[in-house]
Amino acid sequence: MNTNQNIPKAKKELVVEILLRLADDRLIHGHRLSEWAGHGPELEEDLALANVALDMIGHAAALYKYAAEIEGKPDEDHYAYFRDDIDFKNVAMVELPKGDFAFTIARQFLFSAYSYFLYEKLIETVGDEQFNGMLQKHFKEIKYHFRHSREWVFRLGDGTEESHERIQHAFDEIWMYTGELFSLDDAERTAIDKNLFVDISELKEPWLALVKDTLEEATLTLPDDDQYMFSGSRQGKHTEHLGHLLAQMQFLRRSYPDAEWK
């Protein structure tokens, strides 16, 4: 199948936009999780975080590959290694420094819960067969990511005094970055009209209810949802942390752009 020829130009641009938003979230988040390799609090968790990181990067690679087919790019490496920070479309939450273990778990839980509701809806909505097939495959792993992080929220929140304080502080610190998860822009509205995306603003209520129930069971307090919310990352307005991350991640590939990796 020649994907590049079978999709009209206007629809092609929308499909690529949605693919890149999903992929960029997962590539950057996966990179942050990979920074825990060899540094986990215990061997089993060290391996678990590495596996989740591999899942995330694998999801991103598959999404990038489809985008490359549609746009006629040589391969998925173009999106991961040869774009600047302003071109990335990930939410700011995933680019924040890895912090301590509590911060990593809090972020993983909030993002996995969001991904659970998002992919569940996308699978029901997206008519593109290849795209939908990827979503279904990735959804199985997202369910594990969600369960794993949620169990750790319980352990840390209802654990020692220090673990409780650390994860409460992590949720308080991250919360200002959750707003843009559910903020619609013009590109997404157009994609919704063509059954390529879903109204993410409708996902906030079930997501918030799940987060609230989880935090209460973990003896934690839900942060104030009326506080200032960071925005603009989907349009390239990132924190200073993304540039540093990309400089490390892209350095070798950009230094030897014509190398064949075997």
Residue type, 121: K
> How do the pLDDT tens digits run along the chain, 262 residues long?
344 556 677 788 899 999 999 999 999 999 999 998 888 788 888 899 999 999 999 999 999 999 999 998 888 888 999 999 999 999 999 999 999 999 999 999 999 999 999 999 999 999 889 999 999 999 999 999 999 999 999 999 999 999 999 999 999 999 999 999 999 999 999 999 988 899 999 999 999 999 999 999 999 999 998 899 999 999 999 999 999 999 998 888 787 777 665 5
pLDDT for res 80: 92
User: Distance between CA 145 and CA 218 in Å, rounded?
Assistant: 18
CA distances to 36, 46, 149, 190 from 40, rounded to whole Å, are 6, 4, 14, 42
Q: Break the chain into its structural domains and give their ranges.
A: 3-255
CA distances to 3, 67, 235 from 87, rounded to whole Å, are 23, 15, 8
pLDDT for res 57: 96
Q: What would the 3-class secondary structure string for the chain be?
A: CCHHHHCCHHHHHHHHHHHHHHHHHHHHHHHHHHCCCCCCCCHHHHHHHHHHHHHHHHHHHHHHHHHHHHHCCCCCHHHHHCCCHHHCCCCHHHHCCCCCHHHHHHHHHHHHHHHHHHHHHHHHHCCCHHHHHHHHHHHHHHHHHHHHHHHHHHHHHCCCHHHHHHHHHHHHHHHHHCHHHHCCCHHHHHHHHCCCCCCHHHHHHHHHHHHHHHHHHCCCCCCCCCCCCCCCHHHCCCCHHHHHHHHHHHHHHHHCCCCCCC
pLDDT for res 261: 55
CATH label, 3-255, candidates 2.160.10.10, 1.20.1260.10, 3.30.70.260, 3.40.190.10: 1.20.1260.10
pLDDT for res 262: 55
